[in-house]
Every structure is written in structure tokens, then in C-alpha cells.
Amino acid sequence: MKAAQAPRTEKKKVKLLVVEAEEMHDGLMEQLPQYLRTDDLLVVNDAATLPASLHGSDEHDRPVEIRLASQLNDRSWQAVIFGEGDWRTPTEHRPAPPRFKTGEEIAFAGDFSAIVLKESKLSPRLLDLEFNRGGEDLWQGIYRYGKPVQYSYMTDQLNLWSVQNVYGSRPWAAEMPSAGHALDWQLLLKLKEKGVRIATLTHGAGLSATGDEQIDRVLPLAERFDIPAATMTAVLQTKANGGRVVAVGTSVVRALESASLGLSGFTSLKIGPEHQLQFVDGLLTGTHDVSESHYQLLRAFLPERALTEISWHLEEQHYLTHEFGDSCLILANADITKSPDHKRHR
């Protein structure tokens, strides 16, 4: 599939593939309300997207880039480090960064820097960093000197405002929780008018790719989440009343399915074909390559054969993929391979 190369301006015209029962329907995002029922619950991730990419240099003046992955405390972050180059080069083609020792400094500006606390056993490119600022001063430095994570398939460099969802709140996401990119206030209002309830949680969506095989193999890393008590109550009420809980994005699935261990904290939960979904009945998601961790999570909703069929269909119908691509709505009991003569609606 072809990657979307720019943010979508006509969000209502984003394609929407609906997978339900034994059928696939090609539609548009503006038709989403007709596929949801009164008393369904739509849960969104309201994490705002950080300017998580910081360019700087090491103590030998060699250029490096760090991408913030997760905040550890008031001054410290886990981050992935890249060698020289910029966003036009795919991450897997970027040269290796220099190796850092504990205590070495990375300078981003004359008054903004970080020291290396340790490197991960997983990869020397995964570092814990301590900044020379804390609290509000640290956030000011990140927002002054950072930029949103960029993608090599984009036509132009992304601005921070272009990677925010309309309901974005706390700045927890290293990359945009992109499943919500096509939801605007008009569409959310239409859903509410139909009787679809909308609830929020915050999940610190991490990096989608690093170019390091050791790191990419275990993505997603541990990520912070916070589920308001009111949201969890709405989830349980919806299920008790026979409604469906539809997650907007895989980050919402990961947070809700971690709720049995608590409503906030860090989750290392990996969701795949062996995972029995407890709280989520449906998923509104972007379209992604089958090699990505996103695809493994989809296997908790659909069997491999169905996902293969969907991938073929998305390719045939020229759906756009990645962060600003088209969307797919998978609803409860969606198994398009259940019958040998399953239907396609186009």
C-alpha cells in the first residue's frame, strides 16, 4: 500500500473499510455514525503529541538526534538515539550513532542538555537521559528546541500542530495516536446525537519504529497510561447493557486491556492472537504494513486469513497507509472468512 504523504485536509473523505460479521464495506469516515449503534461507547486517547525529536551533538561535536520515548521522572526520559542525518532518510538507513558512556553529555542548545544515565541491555541506542532542567523549565526546553517525529515518506516536514488530534490534552505521546486523526468535532457531535457515548483515556503512545532491529522487535515498549474512573465505569456499563466498546487506536486497546492490573501506571502488555479481549469489542484504526506491531495486535480481533483478505482488499482499493492514511473499523464478531462465500460490499 502507498503511504499518505501529507496530513489530510478533507478528513471526512478519508476512506473507511468496515469489517463486520461476514462482510466488508467500503465507505468514508463521514459515514462512521451509521456503523455504530445507540449505546455503543467510543473510547479515544487524548494524549497530545510531543515535539519528541531533539537534534544535538555529543562531547566530540558529532551530530545526533534523540527521540523521546517515555518520561521516567521530573528530569529523566527514556530515549532512542540516532546518528547524523535528517527525516528524509528512513530510520533503518541512518548511520549508527556514537556509543555513549554513563555521564557523557548531549547538548541541544547552549542552555539545554542531558547526560546519559545508562544504556539499555536491549540495545546501546536505547538510553536513559537526565536533563539539566526539570518541571516547567524542562517542558519549555523540549517545546523550544524539539520537533515532532518526522517520517521519510512525507512530502514536507511536519509541524507540531499537524500531529495533534482535536481532543488532545496532556502531552504524553511521542508520536501521534493517529487512529483519531480523521475525527473532527462535527463528526464527534453527530456520533453523540445518535446516542454513541464518547469517553477518554490518556496513553503515552511511544515510537513506532527506530531502525534498530533489537528495539523494533519488542515494540511497543512499556508505556504510561491513565484511565479515568468515569471512563472505566462507562466501559463496564456499556458491556452490561449489551453495547459495544470501540477503541480508537491500538493504544486505547492496550490501555483498556491493562485495566485489570490498575487504572494507571506503565503497561508492558503485548496483545496478539493468544490474547482474550476483556473490555474491547471493536477497533477504529489506521492501515499499516503487516510487518508492524500494530498488525500483531489486530490478530486479537481477527484470524490470520481474515487479515490477509483485508490487506488484499486495501491494496486493490488503493487505501493509503501510515499516520495520515485511511481507516478501518473492525466490529465484534467480525470474521470475513467464516463462510466460504463471504460477501464484499464496495
Q: How far apart are CA 39 and CA 235, in angstroms?
A: 11
Q: Is the peptide bond between 171 and the residue preceding it cis, with omega within 30 degrees of 0?
A: no
Q: How far apart are CA 39 and CA 333, in angstroms?
A: 18
The string of pLDDT tens digits covering residues 270-294 is 999 999 999 999 999 998 766 566 7
Q: How far apart are CA 147 and CA 303, in angstroms?
A: 38
Does 343 have pLDDT greater than 70? no
Specify the CATH superfamily of domain 2-49+156-345: QueA-like (3.40.1780.10)
Q: How far apart are CA 197 and CA 176, in angstroms?
A: 23
Q: How far apart are CA 59 and CA 41, in angstroms?
A: 52
Per-residue pLDDT, averaged over 41-57, amounts to: 98
171 vs 9: which has the higher pLDDT: 171
Q: How far apart are CA 208 and CA 221, in angstroms?
A: 10
301 vs 290: which has the higher pLDDT: 301
The string of pLDDT tens digits covering residues 182-224 is 999 999 999 999 999 999 999 999 999 999 999 999 999 999 9
- Cα dihedral angle (209, 211, 214, 217), rounded to 10 degrees? 40
Look up residue 86 and give its three cell numbers: 535528517
What pLDDT is attached to residue 60?
95
What pLDDT is attached to residue 292?
61
pLDDT band at 336 (very low <50, low <70, confident <90, very high): low
Per-residue pLDDT, averaged over 171-177, amounts to: 97
What pLDDT is attached to residue 340?
40
What pLDDT is attached to residue 338?
46
pLDDT band at 296 (very low <50, low <70, confident <90, very high): confident
Does 153 have pLDDT greater than 70? yes
What pLDDT is attached to residue 341?
42
Q: Which of the listed CATH numbers 2.40.10.240, 1.10.510.10, 3.60.21.70, 3.30.9.10 matches domain 53-145? A: 2.40.10.240
Domain boundaries, the chain: 2-49+156-345, 53-145
Look up residue 279 and give its three cell numbers: 473490555
pLDDT band at 337 (very low <50, low <70, confident <90, very high): low
- For cell 476483556, name the residue: 278
Does 97 have pLDDT greater than 80? yes
Per-residue pLDDT, averaged over 139-146, amounts to: 98
Residue 106, H or E segment: strand 105-109
Q: How far apart are CA 18 and CA 289, in angstroms?
A: 18
Would you call 230 exposed, middle or buried from its count of C-beta atoms within 10 A (0-12, 13-18, 19+)? exposed
**Mean pLDDT across the chain, nearest whole number?**
92
Percent of the chain with pLDDT over 70: 94
The string of pLDDT tens digits covering residues 227-236 is 999 999 999 9
Q: Which residues, 6+ apart, have CB-to-CB distance to 112 below 8 Å?
A: 131, 132, 133, 141, 144, 145
Contact (Cβ atoms closer than 8 angstroms) between residue 243 and residue 40: yes
The string of pLDDT tens digits covering residues 255-265 is 999 999 899 99
pLDDT band at 9 (very low <50, low <70, confident <90, very high): confident
What pLDDT is attached to residue 212?
93
What pLDDT is attached to residue 288?
74
Distances (CA, A) of 184 to 14, 68, 190, 326, 329: 12, 27, 10, 15, 17
Does 346 have pLDDT greater than 60? no
